[in-house]
Amino acid sequence: MDYVAPTTLEEAYRALEAEDARCLAGGQSLVAMMNLGLASPARLVGLRRIEPLRGVARRPDGGLRIGAMTTHAELAALEAGAAGPALLAQAARVVAYPAVRAWGTIGGSIAHADPAADYPVALLAAGASIEIGSARGVRQLAARDFFRGFFETALAPGEIVTAVHVPPGPAGARAAYEKLSLVAGDFAIVSVAAIAGPAAQVAVGGCGPTPILSALADLGDDALLEAGRSIAAASDPPSDHRASAAYRRRVLPELLRRAVRGAHPRP
């Protein structure tokens, strides 16, 4: 294996042309997989020195452009503002542990695309889009089109996640993130991200290979539980040693209700 640390995106794109090359962002998932023998790339392209991948820029509409190398800790520390960014910050606060949040990045996390991770749900609910760069140029993809399957994204060979664009969300809307896990800092059994104002946009994680996005108009408790039940009925959750598919379907409606209630206390 070799390691290169380009300082520009152009160099990075060239370095990625090598056989079996992979980007190294924060390394918090990739290096663990390498240590466990689950990944053995021939080349690592370190993204740490590429300035354009860093930093969070506030857009005039209250939304954010989040550089791909922004860490979970940086996102977690964002001042509460519009609902979209607030949702990302809430999700970032419950990713793993302090040391992982200090160096793990949003770009690395979403490119890894663990279906039980915290960002994918938050990004879908927030209506975020993913900015993807390559030698061919830059394209932007809605988060719901970016996550394709179990550890699978729309990234083509040679492409790098360069940024995440998070819209502010509807005026007056608020955000909440509900996560059920076996222990603190673990991946979710089921998670629900919600942005709710007069209506709600929710995304459910842990219940299939990619997050499930729904728009809800009726925010009464009964309607939310009913909506949760239909999402559950249509979902295809995994069964593993943490929980069965049936259990995930069973708890989804109440977690959905709590997430929306957390964002919007009065129906």
Where do runs of H (alpha helix) occur along 128-240?
143-146, 221-234
DSSP conformational letter for 17: T
Q: Do 214 and 224 contact (CB within 8 A), yes or no?
A: no
CA dihedral 189, 143, 63, 105 (to 10 degrees): 60
Query: Can residue 229 be called a binding residue for another protein (CB under 8 A)?
Result: no
Query: Can residue 77 be called a binding residue for another protein (CB under 8 A)?
Result: no
Query: Can residue 11 be called a binding residue for another protein (CB under 8 A)?
Result: no
User: What are 181's two structure tokens?
Assistant: 């896990």
* CA gap 31, 199 in Å, rounded: 41
Nearer to another protein, 36 or 233 (CB): 36
Size of the site for another protein (CB under 8 A): 43
Distances (CA, A) of 215 to 126, 152, 237: 11, 24, 20
Looking only at residues 89 through 108 of this chain, which bind another protein when binding is defined by CB under 8 A?
96-100, 102-103
Nearer to another protein, 241 or 266 (CB): 241
Where do runs of H (alpha helix) occur along 51-118?
72-76, 83-93, 98-103, 106-112
Nearer to another protein, 59 or 114 (CB): 114
Closest approach, Cβ 134 to another protein, in A, equals 22
Query: Can residue 3 be called a binding residue for another protein (CB under 8 A)?
Result: yes
* CA gap 19, 25 in Å, rounded: 19
- Which segment (56-64, 165-173, 193-201, 246-254) binds another protein by CB under 8 A? 246-254
- Which segment (38-46, 80-88, 161-169, 211-219) binds another protein by CB under 8 A? 38-46
Query: Can residue 236 be called a binding residue for another protein (CB under 8 A)?
Result: no
Query: Can residue 185 be called a binding residue for another protein (CB under 8 A)?
Result: yes
Binding-site member from 11, 46, 223, 229 for another protein (CB under 8 A): 46
Nearer to another protein, 2 or 17 (CB): 2
- Name 38's Cβ contacts closer than 8 Å, sequence gap at least 6: none
* CA gap 259, 193 in Å, rounded: 6
Looking only at residues 120 through 149 of this chain, which bind another protein when binding is defined by CB under 8 A?
none
Binding-site member from 117, 180, 192, 194 for another protein (CB under 8 A): 180
Tokens 């979970």 found at: 72
* CA gap 225, 109 in Å, rounded: 30
Binding-site member from 19, 36, 60, 157 for another protein (CB under 8 A): 36
| Chain positions contacting another protein, by CB under 8 A | 1-3, 5, 24, 27-28, 31-32, 34-36, 40, 44, 46, 48-49, 73, 96-100, 102-103, 180, 182-187, 189, 241-244, 247, 250-251, 254-255, 258
